[in-house]
Amino acid sequence: MDVWFDSGCMPFAQDHYPFENEKWIEGKGYPADYICEAIDQTRGWFYTLHAVGMLLGRGRAYKNVICLGHLLDASGKKMSKSLGNIIDPWIMMGKYGVDTLRLWMYSVNQPGESKNFDEKTVALVYQQVFGLLYNVLAFYELYRDKKIETNDRPKSKNILDIWILTKLDELIKLITDNLDNYKFLEPTRALRNFIGNFSTWYLRRSRERIKNGDEEARQTLYFVLKNLAKLMAPFAPFAAEDIWLKLKTNDDKESVHLAKWSASQTKWFSFGKKNVMKEMQIVRDIVTLGLEARQNAGIKVRQPLAKLEIKNYKLGGKYLELIKDELNVKEVIQNKNIENQVKLDVNITSELKQEGDYRELAHALQDMRKKLGLTPSNIISIVFETDETGKELIQKFETDMKKTVLVSRVEFRKNDGPASAKNSSETMQEIKIDDLFFKIKIKK
């Protein structure tokens, strides 16, 4: 018997039709909702299924088809042993995980197009999706408060919370609509973009609120993470399950794959929500221009500046605060008369310079905490060896240091410069900030 004819009979033969299951085949059992195979099946299985179905008077064999392209090497050549360009899938899965490869295939191009396998692009998916997402999850777990965890949608009035929840609603609707139509490229790319926004904008601008115990911020972070686990489940089932198990409560299903699919709140279409989306994009565009101005002037973001003038004069105070904090400027002024969209004051006064030096020091201290594996529950004391100028800097910002670096006590020892390190038997970390020199020891 011809094997193609045999394969075309599959929908009927598997149920022993017409000798059995006649009601099923002539009801919901035929045609199939969809089938999935590679492009070489166009003249094979895709055709024979329809051909046999038509011959038996049952019509088309399936309603939808997902046609897959072939996997090629990075230059678009067919993989073969003779060319020596075969990629070992087990090595790639061991290095990046199966979910990374799965998401790469979904998001690199349309399913039916050939996929040129370039490991660099796989590594990018790993960094931009799973790296970012697990960093967000780790941050949440660091400040987690299980008492406030709920599946109810947060009712925060904070502009950042409203924005990310609205973005989540957009994502739910987009993924749901596309999956209902058997499309995978659009939802997976939207998922990647959302995770980038979630990590590099929402969490970045919400860190201090979460650290300081803001319940609405923590609830929002939890709600978004949990819904992301559901939305990722069709594309990255193992990572989705891992995140779900870390976040689920006793009232939740045992597995994310048993949980009810996320529902979009269609209220995001309201004028108010649309306005938030539009204005937040303006804010981010202004921030991008401001960062470019800093880069062109060769000034780090940790160095405070006096002011930024912006041409857009319709933004509210909450949005201006976001710009101010992200660009590290003391003031944002709306001035429709400036020539360009933004004008950054790059003049650094002695007072601003001193604050910039402190921020560099605080950043170094936070990095030391991280390397020591300390958590927010670990309050430390710090011993400094520095000169009078360094001591004055620390004393001026000591209150802020104790709050941000989680320090209970600051001690000083005299230091005459880098050479003095040779005379000390105690292990202390050395830090140089412009003309300032510090030797630092953290005590737990």
Q: pLDDT digits over 91-133, tens only?
A: 999 999 999 999 999 999 999 999 999 999 999 999 999 999 9
Q: Span 316-322, mean pLDDT?
A: 94
Is the predicted pLDDT of residue 348 greater than 70, yes or no?
A: yes
Examine residue 186 and state whether it is found in any structural domain, yes or no: yes
- Tokens coding 417: 């410069």
Q: Are residues 64 and 111 in the same domain?
A: no
Residues 164 and 62 in one domain: no
- Domain that residue 224 falls in: 105-269
CA distances from 101 to 79, 82, 120, 122, 273 (A): 17, 25, 12, 7, 35
Q: Residue 43's pLDDT is what? A: 87
The span from the CA of 117 to the CA of 85, in Å, is 10
Residues 252 and 135 in one domain: yes
Domain harbouring 155, CATH code: 1.10.730.10
Distant-in-sequence, close-in-space partners of 410: CB < 8 Å, separation ≥ 6: 381, 382, 384, 394, 398, 401, 402
Q: Count of CB atoms within 10 A of residue 44's CB? A: 15
Cα 94 to Cα 147: distance, rounded to the nearest angstrom: 37
Shared domain for 340 and 410, answered yes or no, is no
Give dist(CA 365, CA 439) in Å, integer: 11
Q: Where are the beta strands (DSSP E) in 79-206?
A: 115-116
Q: Note whether residue 74 is domain-resident.
A: no
> Is the model's pLDDT at 427 over the cut of 80?
no
Closest CA to 443 of 422, 433, 430, 429: 429
Task: Provide the pLDDT for residue 271.
Answer: 54
Give the C-alpha distances (Å, rounded to integers) separating 124 from 40, 104, 127, 232: 30, 9, 5, 17
Contact predicate 257/241, CB 8 Å: yes
Under 8 Å between Cβ of 198 and 220: no
Q: What is the pLDDT of residues 233-256, one digit of tens each?
A: 999 999 999 999 999 999 999 999
Same domain? For 154 and 235 the reply is yes
Write down the pTM of the prediction: 0.89
Is 257 in the same domain as 277? no
**Residue 356 predicted with pLDDT over 70:** yes
Query: Average per-residue pLDDT in the chain?
Result: 92
Average pLDDT over residues 246-271: 84
CB 380 within 8 A of CB 406: yes
- 415 band by pLDDT with thresholds 50, 70 and 90: low
Backbone angles phi, psi at 38, to 5 degrees: -75, 165
What pLDDT is stored for residue 312 in this prediction?
78
- Residue 238 domain flag: yes
**79 lies in some domain:** no
Regarding whether 209 and 125 lie in a shared domain, the answer is yes
pLDDT for 421 beyond 90: no
Q: What's the pLDDT band for 229 if we cut at 50, 70, 90?
A: very high
Is the domain of 150 the same as that of 237? yes
**pLDDT band at residue 418 using 50, 70 and 90 as cut-offs:** low
Q: Is the pLDDT of residue 416 over 70?
A: no
Q: What pLDDT sits at residue 419? A: 46
Residue 84 counted as domain residue: no
Residue 272 has pLDDT above 80, yes or no: no
pLDDT over 70 (residue 221): yes
What's the rounded Cα separation, in Å, for the pair 431 and 436?
Answer: 8
Same domain? For 404 and 437 the reply is yes
Distance CA(49)–CA(60), nearest Å, equals 8
Boundary of a domain, candidates 209, 236, 269: 269
Cα 403 to Cα 366: distance, rounded to the nearest angstrom? 12
Q: Domain for residue 138, yes or no?
A: yes
Q: Are 346 and 376 in contact (CB under 8 A)?
A: no
Question: Among 309, 325, 344, which residue terminates a domain?
Answer: 344
Distance separating the N- and C-terminal Cα atoms of the chain:
78
307 shares a domain with 181 = no
Stretch 255-272: mean pLDDT, rounded?
77
Q: What angle do CA 407, 158, 317 make, to 5 degrees?
A: 95
Radius of gyration of the chain (CA): 29
The 10 Å CB-count burial string (b at 16+, else e) for 234-268 is bbbbebbbbbbeebbeeeeeeebeebeebebeeeb
- pLDDT tens digits for 175-211? 999 999 999 999 999 999 999 999 999 999 999 999 9
Q: Is residue 76 part of a domain?
A: no
Convert the pLDDT of each residue in 44-82 to its tens digit: 899 999 999 999 999 999 999 999 999 999 999 999 888
**Does residue 280 surpass a pLDDT of 70?**
yes
- Which residue, of 223, 247, 269, is where some domain finishes? 269
Confidence at 1, pLDDT banded by 50, 70, 90: low
Say yes or no: 148 and 256 in one domain: yes
Which range, 20-29, 125-134, 261-270, is most confident?
125-134
Question: Which pLDDT belongs to residue 425?
Answer: 46
Q: d(Cα 220, Cα 377) in Å, to the nearest integer?
A: 23
Please count the structural domains in the chain: 4
434 vs 415, higher pLDDT: 434
Whether the predicted pLDDT of 322 surpasses 70: yes
Residue 157 domain-assigned (yes or no): yes
Q: How far is CA 424 from CA 91, 364, 383, 386, 409, in A?
A: 49, 21, 14, 13, 22
Going by pLDDT thresholds of 50, 70 and 90, the confidence category of residue 314 is confident
Query: 404 and 278, same structural domain?
Result: no
DSSP 303: S
